[in-house]
């Protein structure tokens, strides 16, 4: 039996997902990755819960809703593309966002609400990004060439942070992430 995982994420507007899908299409051929995410799966992870028992998951939902009750919508700006892992063979290809105090505050509220529900969460610093692909399988990854093809580094793309979603993973499916519950910002 495959384990399922749950996570909270900032939901991206459809226009942003479409833009990132078009960007992925421009670079796919020259930069092959084992898995390209379905555009409906694009998000910014706020807290990864892992295998979440129902009772704890429900408590986290209650806590998150309370924590976000007076949080306002805010604007973010896409800011280029990058990788995690080795330059020659990256693990993750991502789109970034400009640093945002509102986003960091939102992540902290969601993270704390989940800890208060009993979850032990990753202690690594929050690095907001939107995963586009995983596991480079080509011969020679060239970051500069990929950024040139992607063509989002020198442009300003605005998006609104308006909804936090609890997702459940369904590995092997496309899209892989099923929305379970949402919390709208005011």
pLDDT of 156 reads 77
Average pLDDT over residues 156-184: 95
Rounded to 5 degrees, φ, ψ at 157 are -120, 115
**pLDDT at residue 154 above 70?**
no
HSE toward the beta carbon, residue 104, CA cutoff 13 A: 7
In this prediction, residue 89 has a pLDDT band, given cuts at 50, 70 and 90, of: very high
Active site residue 43: yes
Domain at 6-184: CATH architecture:
Alpha-Beta Complex (3.90)
Q: Edge-to-edge strand order for the sheet containing 163-169? A: 43-50, 6-11, 163-169, 177-184
The structure's pTM equals 0.96
How far is the C-alpha of 27 from the C-alpha of 143, rounded, in Å? 11
HSE toward the beta carbon, residue 168, CA cutoff 13 A: 13
Look up residue 66 and give its two tokens: 């309370």
The residue among 157, 146, 16, 13 whose CA lies nearest residue 92 is 146
70 exposed, middle or buried (CB, 10 Å; 0-12, 13-18, 19+)? exposed
The residue among 14, 28, 25 whose CA lies nearest residue 159 is 14
Active site residue 5: no
Annotated catalytic residue within 5, 38, 129, 170: 129
pLDDT of 152 reads 82
The lowest-confidence range among 53-57, 156-160, 164-168, 177-181 is: 156-160
């Amino acid at each position: 039996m495959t384990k399922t995982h749950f996570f909270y994420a900032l939901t991206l507007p459809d226009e942003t997902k479409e833009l990132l899908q078009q960007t992925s299409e421009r670079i796919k051929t020259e930069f092959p990755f084992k898995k390209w995410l379905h555009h409906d799966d694009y998000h910014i992870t706020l807290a990864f819960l892992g295998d979440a028992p129902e009772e704890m998951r429900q408590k986290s939902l209650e806590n998150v809703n309370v924590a976000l009750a007076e949080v306002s919508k805010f604007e973010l700006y896409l800011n280029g593309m990058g990788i995690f892992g080795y330059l020659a063979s990256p693990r993750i290809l991502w789109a970034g966002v400009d640093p945002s105090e509102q986003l960091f505050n939102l992540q902290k509220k969601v993270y704390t609400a989940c800890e208060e529900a009993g979850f032990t969460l990753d202690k690594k610093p929050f690095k907001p990004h939107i995963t586009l692909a995983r596991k480079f399988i080509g011969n020679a990854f060239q970051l500069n060439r990929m950024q040139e093809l992607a063509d989002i580094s020198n442009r300003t793309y605005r998006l609104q942070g308006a909804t936090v979603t609890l997702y459940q993973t369904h590995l092997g499916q496309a899209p892989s992430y099923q929305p379970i519950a949402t919390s709208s910002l005011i």
